A and B are shown apart, each in its own frame.
Chain A
Amino acid sequence: MTTTDIHALVGAYALDAVDDLERAAFERHILACDGCRGEVDELRETASRLADSTWSVPPPQLRTDVLAAIGRTRQLPPGESARPEPDARAAVSRWRRYTAGAAAACILATGAGAATWAVQEQRVRAKNTAVAAAELREARTQAILAAPDLVVRTAPMIGGGRVTVASSAQQAASVVSLRAERAPATDRAFQLWTIRDVAAPAPVDAGLLAPGEASAAQIVEGVPGNEVFAVSEEPAGGSPQPTQVVAQVLLT
């Protein structure tokens, strides 16, 4: 296989879609092609982001088993592939330098495909603010849902559908998921409430859905700590107090 042929496997390699022989050949190739390494690392990094969408709660036994297993597993010393920790800033500028080199080298090595690199560098980071916010939200959601003390409660909604409240006292927060079978009219909206004291109820607004919206998932900080979580249907702008309660979840 020629250098050109082997480099064309970079995408398949990053996706683990090559066989063992090709993998070995490709790894030899990148050792020899320093400029290619930046592309390989980036595509690997990108491929692993696909795991963001595969979140699933592992069985509790797994934690016990893994923690027991590491107690009897000897750790490897740093090997050849572990270089000294670079200063983050230096790493960035070094990365940028060698990206430029890699772009040139890979265009030479492979022709098509790599030519898109320079163009796409231009149109990159417009979405980044929204992306950062989404990432924080995801991280927070995961922290709550992965908490060892997570308690999940659900309650039906009047008119069909259900509300699920997954609460962690450790994280002092809940993830609330609401799915109504019937959407409210376009001038009506679901509103979320927390009620601290059932004996003398003083509902506190915990968020308002968009008018006509039938489903939502929301992080609510400070819950549990409340005894009841409620959903009501209100005029589109929301109400200071719930007028038509459609679901209640007891949290104690």
Chain B
Amino acid sequence: MTERGAARRPDHLSAVPDAPPGPATDIGDLVRAVARGDEPAFARLYDLVSPRVYGLIRRVLRDPAQAEEVAQEVLVEVWRTAARFDAARGSATSWIFTIAHRRAVDRVRSEQASSDRTMKVGVASVETPYDEVVDEVAGRLERRQVRHCLDDLTELQRQAVTLAYYQGHSYREVAELLKTPLPTVKTRMRDGLIRLRDCLGVEVTS
């Protein structure tokens, strides 16, 4: 954008908008309200986190129908166990995604046990145009920061972290896929996450 263009930028085009209007939107506050049985707070929490919960699970499982099923289990689990969220151990967002990721991975493992995962490929390719459009719009503004930080990792670190997180592989499977000794994979997962932590500026504070 040229200087002239920047100077003319109108107020209503906000690069850094204020917090959205409306009632409390802090995820931690909402989880605490949910812990007291506040159903409207849960509905607001749903609106804030469900796209990422569903997106994460869908990314790991691929199959939208299964993703929907697991997402429902996860979101109900958030309701059920909200009182056990401990802010001293991390953010509420992380608590929710930890539950979501664990459930998605559990599903992958149990699927592998029954080995019918390939049967679902046909279903996975069905997506509504609505999804595609919205995903495209969302994708353009997002993903930059995480991608940028993933690019900061060494090739092996990135592969170890993403194969485990996005595809639900165990570190043994990752070692096999990357033809790399087990201890090396364990180390790369750890130092890869440490480097990501620093790049993303993650701190555990409540």
Binding site for B on A (CB under 8 A): 8-12, 14-19, 37-38, 41-59, 61-63, 65-67, 69-71, 73-79, 81-83, 85-86, 88, 91-92, 94-95, 112-113, 116-117, 120, 123-125, 127-128, 131, 133-143, 145-148, 150, 152, 154, 164, 166, 171-173, 175-177, 189, 192, 204-211, 215-222, 236-238
Contact = CB atoms under 8 A, between A and B. Distances in A.
Interface of B: 1-2, 4-5, 8-10, 12-17, 19-21, 25, 32, 35, 37, 39, 42-43, 46-48, 50-56, 58-59, 64, 68, 71-72, 75-76, 79-91, 93-94, 97-98, 100-102, 105, 130-131, 133-147, 161-162, 164-166, 168-172, 174, 183, 185-206
State the majority secondary structure of interface residues on A. Answer: mixed
A222 B101 contact: no
A140 B13 CA distance: 12
Contact of A69 (B10, B16, B76): B76
B141 A127 contact: no
B35 A75 contact: yes
A240 B162 CA distance: 47
State the majority secondary structure of interface residues on B. Answer: helix
B88 to A, nearest CB: 5
Nearest to B6: A208
A164 B166 contact: no
Given A120-B195, A137-B15, A219-B14, A51 B97 contact: yes
A85 B87 contact: yes
Given A81-B89, A206-B10, 4 more contacts: A19-B170, A85-B87, A152-B133, A208-B1
Nearest to A133: B16
